[in-house]
Amino acid sequence: MAKKDSFTVEPFPRFREIVIESVKAGKKMNHVTGMPIYDVTKARELMQKYKEKNKESVSFTAFIIHCLGKAVSEYKQIHGIRKGRRKVIIFDDINIRLNIEKEIDGKKTAVIHIIRKANKKSLREIHDEIRRAQGAKGYAKKEVVSQKQKKSRKGQNKLISLPKFLRRIVWWKLKHDPFFIQKNLGTVSVTTLGTMFKKGRGGYAITVSPQTLSIVIGAIEERPGVVNKKIEIREYLYLTVLLNHDVVDGAVAARFLARLGDLIEEGYGLSTIEVKK
């Protein structure tokens, strides 16, 4: 008699249901995908100098979010949300959704964290906020959570606990209420998937998102580049950018991506980042 294969049965995490529904909502949006490559050699050099001097690493994700907040603030239409047939709501504050992996009950779990008013925060503030959300050593005990953040987390937990038929009402509201979206999901999302690629090998990750603007941080690859008419080994970042074509045309998208590239390549904010207190 053949021996049966052994296997393990694990409960399906409820938060995965929200992810599935989020992807379904994103598929209904008219996204156009951009796949720029940016030279991050200078930015990485500035990060390394800061680390050597201050014995602390700067979050690369925080750096990208800092650049993103600045670029979106200059091209606010990029994160506009359509309301009805003839209106687009364009927010002054840029709330950026970030999926953060942290350990809960002994298991690594992805949780949603919204960096509110990212365009008005320094790189230091964004870096510290991400580290606190991750529960990093030296940050967790000093975490200060605003009332808005508490309400947002409470709302996320409530959403997960709702039956599926009630969550459909919430997703309908997300589609038709820009203010609800901005408060609970943010208008911009950032996903970091660079670690899924082999070190030193470039690559993109394609995603689906219900946000108006979505950025996926891919891998960093070393390869030849031309600097001052000379070939040098440079470090290049692969990004995937999803833009809602309902509210953004190609010309604005191109200018936004060019500005984002300039900020990333010049190492925006890295030369003036404050030392941790």
The rounded radius of gyration (Å) of the Cα atoms in the chain is 20
> What percent of the chain is modeled with pLDDT above 90?
37
Decide if 277 is inside a domain. no
Identify which has the larger pLDDT, 133 or 152: 133
Question: With helix as H, strand as E and coil as C, how does 249-260 read?
Answer: CHHHHHHHHHHH
* The predicted structure's pLDDT at residue 267: 96
Give the range of the structural domain holding residue 56, as residue numbers without chain letter: 28-266
* The predicted structure's pLDDT at residue 205: 73
- In this structure, which amino acid lies at residue 138? G
Mean pLDDT check: name the lowest of 102-106, 111-115, 155-159: 155-159
Is residue 149 pLDDT above 60, yes or no?
Answer: no
- This prediction has a pTM of 0.80
Residue 81, classed as helix, strand or coil, is: strand
Is residue 243 exposed (0-12), middle (13-18) or buried (19+ Cβ within 10 Å)?
buried
Mean pLDDT confidence for 204-218: 82
Mean pLDDT confidence for 175-194: 81
Count up the domains in the chain and report the number: 1
Is residue 174 pLDDT above 70, yes or no?
Answer: no
Mind listing the pLDDT tens digit for each residue in 229-246?
Answer: 899 999 999 999 998 888
Query: Cα–Cα distance between 31 and 169 in angstroms, integer?
Result: 23
Decide if 245 is inside a domain. yes
- What is the CATH classification number for the domain harbouring 221? 3.30.559.10
Decide if 274 is inside a domain. no
Packed helices 147-161 and 14-27: angle between N→C axes, nearest 10 degrees: 90
The CA-based angle 47-258-57, given to 5 degrees, is: 10
Decide if 19 is inside a domain. no
Strand partners, 110: 101
Q: Where are the alpha helices (DSSP H) in the chain?
A: 14-27, 41-54, 60-74, 123-134, 147-161, 164-176, 178-184, 250-266
Identify which has the larger pLDDT, 165 or 5: 5
Q: How far is CA 208 from the centre of its chain?
A: 13
Is residue 122 pLDDT above 90, yes or no?
Answer: yes
Is residue 209 pLDDT above 90, yes or no?
Answer: no
Is residue 159 pLDDT above 90, yes or no?
Answer: no
The CA-based angle 40-45-49, given to 5 degrees, is: 150
Decide if 170 is inside a domain. yes
